[in-house]
Structure 1
Amino acid sequence: MTLNVDPAKSAGQASSPPTERVIAVMKMLGADPGRQFSLAEISRGLAISRATAHAILATLVAHEWVTRDPRTVRYAWGPAIASLAKPADLFRGELEELAAATGTQVYLARRDANSLVIIDLAGDNPSAPRIGRGTRTPFVAPFGRDYVAWSNPEAQHAWLEAIGKPSQALRTRISAVLNETRQRGFVVERLTREYLRVYSALQALSDDGEVDSITAQLARAFADLSVIDVLPAELGRGVTHPIATVSAPITNAEGAVTMSVTAAPFATLDARAITSLGERVCVAARAIGERLNRYGDQA
């Protein structure tokens, strides 16, 4: 298959044909990063001269964007490319767009074993607690519902039981909340005095990424004393709720939830505003998921 690298024939008139050739080489190698290509294959596949292809590849190899196997003299996708596409850069547009559309601070988090780690932020909200990249929250019930709602029953059971033997009331509430999360696609965190205190304490306790007995007991106390999430019956006309955050899951190509995006209004919202914010967060989560699956998870 011969790829068209003639900028004059592309939909948009490019201003730099040499740059177009470099991009074409990288696209060709990136389409099959596990494969090695010969100079002849690259030259023929892109319809460029061997001399031009060699000059491009020599420069890319020097910067480790491309590797050259000295035994086979064949070329492949290089390790330096991964360092250029950190999530903070890869998803910056989606995060800034969500922050601007909602007027909230927005967080991008990743699950890292037993913790949820903030890896990027956008926007600003003076009402919300200050939070930065690297902030950790333990992955322990009732937190992380956007990660476990789509998990199998065994994983959900292990997540809930990690805080100790839950009361029947908590089991019933969590079951209803997880079912509702799967239906609407997002998680709502109520803004309460207990939430602010427990959330700060849990962040401090999870700095090392471990969930110990103190962390589990604190999370259980919060779960037992708080109303977790907001269910449809609680969203009647004229009813308002103080809302801390609204989060939606981000899935990888295998359908597993590996990240989440959160908008933090820290304000009192009615049913319509909560639903509207949740839908916007879900749109951003899908856009980030599409980009993640297009370019791969580089973090």
Structure 2
Amino acid sequence: MTESVTAPPIRSQGASPPTERVIAVIELLGRNPNKQFSLAEICRTLGISRATGHALLTTLAAHEWVIRDPATAHYSWGPAISALARPANTPLHRGALQALAAATGTQVMLARREGTTLVVTDTVGECPRGPRVWRGMRTPFVPPIGRDYVAWWSTDAQNEWLEAIGTPSRQFKQRMTDVFRAIRQRGFVVERLTHQYVRVYSALRALSADGQVDEITAHLARAYADLAVIDVLDDELIAGATHSVATISAPIRDPDGTAMMTVMAAVFTTLDGDAIRSLGAQLRDSAREIEQRIGADHVVPQALTSD
């Protein structure tokens, strides 16, 4: 038996035929969330040209409304659509942030990914030592920033993300592989506080104010990636060692395992290994609380059955 794939006809008399075609692609993939489609299959099903289909899917994949599998070049339902369907209900999560700020004695934030930028959606508390973070502040989603989200991706997708700022060096790629593994195992990210971090982070934040990641942003991120030691691995949290920490964050994952938001604490001080683990655990617990609240409202779309 072959899987039956149906799609609503594209209404050529609509007010905006190009928009109708985008909607048709999204509806096709949304009705079949567990299936991967080839470009030819999508174009044939929807009755659009290969050139039009390729342009649509390339744009949608760039924003992760669809996912392109590097191994098969097939397309499937993307996590960005799920994130739009479950907005970051700020009042709903405010209690968790307030409790976390009271427990940690510092500013805590909730952020989400929007295309090529990471946006702060809520913030509670104050950090007397570090720069003020405000609601609506944006930073670019470029390596190594945003690894909270990427740690849960496939190896191919991780490599593709790393290559967004140029071919990674062997050392940087190995470090990021170790960092991704550590994030998955312990459930939190540590951002080191260095002079380079403060300067580069401020510049990247300014460059991403309009939501775009341009060539200058990519080059700056690459320079930082080549010069900085990313994260703090577990075997570096040895007794007696201290680390200058800017922030610690934990990913908030939806029921299908995709990281869709992060909860972050502004630290901007020196901590030993035990303090880093303790704060990381608090953030992880807060992230799990938010996940449970989101999961209670989650509805998984059903795939079409076989004929």
Q: Does the pair score TM above 0.5?
A: yes
| Alignment-derived partner of residue 89 in structure 2 | 87
State how 1:135-284 maps to structure 2 within 5 Å.
Answer: 135-284=137-286
State the 1:159 CA deviation. 1.1
Report which structure shows greater RCO (CA 8 Å, sep ≥6).
Answer: 2
- Residue equivalent to 1:79: none
Deviation at residue 87 of structure 1 after TM alignment: 2.2
Distance 2:240 2:211 in 1: 41
| 1:99 aligned residue (98, 101, 109) | 101
SS of residue paired to 1:91: helix
Supply the distance in 2 between the matched residues of 1:279 and 1:157 (Cα, whole angstroms).
Answer: 28
Structure 1 residue 233: Cα displacement = 2.2
Is there any run of 5+ residues in structure 1 with no aligned partner, and where? 1-84
Question: SS of the residue aligned with 2:256?
Answer: coil
Quick one: which amino acid aligns to residue 229 of structure 1?
Answer: D
For residues 116-149 of structure 1, give each alpha carbon's deviation from its aligned partner in whole angstroms, at most 9, with x where no partner exists.
Answer: 1000001111111011111111111001111000
User: In the alignment, what sits opposite 1:54?
Assistant: none
Q: Which residue of 2 aligns with 1:290?
A: 292
Measured in 2, the distance between the counterparts of 1:244 and 1:185 equals: 17
Root-mean-square deviation (CA, aligned residues, Å) is 1.4
Where do 1:61-80 residues align within 5 Å?
none
Per-residue deviation, residues 17-58 of structure 1 (Å, max 9, x unmatched): xxxxxxxxxxxxxxxxxxxxxxxxxxxxxxxxxxxxxxxxxx
Is residue 125 of structure 1 aligned with residue 118 of structure 2?
A: no
Q: Percent identity?
A: 56
- Per the alignment, residue 27 of structure 1 pairs with none
Q: 1:86 to 1:224 in 2, by over 3 A?
A: closer
Describe the SS at the equivalent of 1:243. strand
**Contact 2:138 2:209 (C-alpha < 8 Å) held by counterparts:** yes
Paired AA for residue 142 in structure 1: P
Query: What's the offset of the Cα at 1:165?
Result: 1.1
Contact between 1:87 and 1:120, CA under 8 Å: does it hold in 2? no
Partners of 1:94 and 1:139 in 2: how far apart? 25
Alignment CA distance shift 1:154-1:130 (3 Å)? same
TM-score, normalised relative to structure 2: 0.67
SS across alignment from 2:196: helix
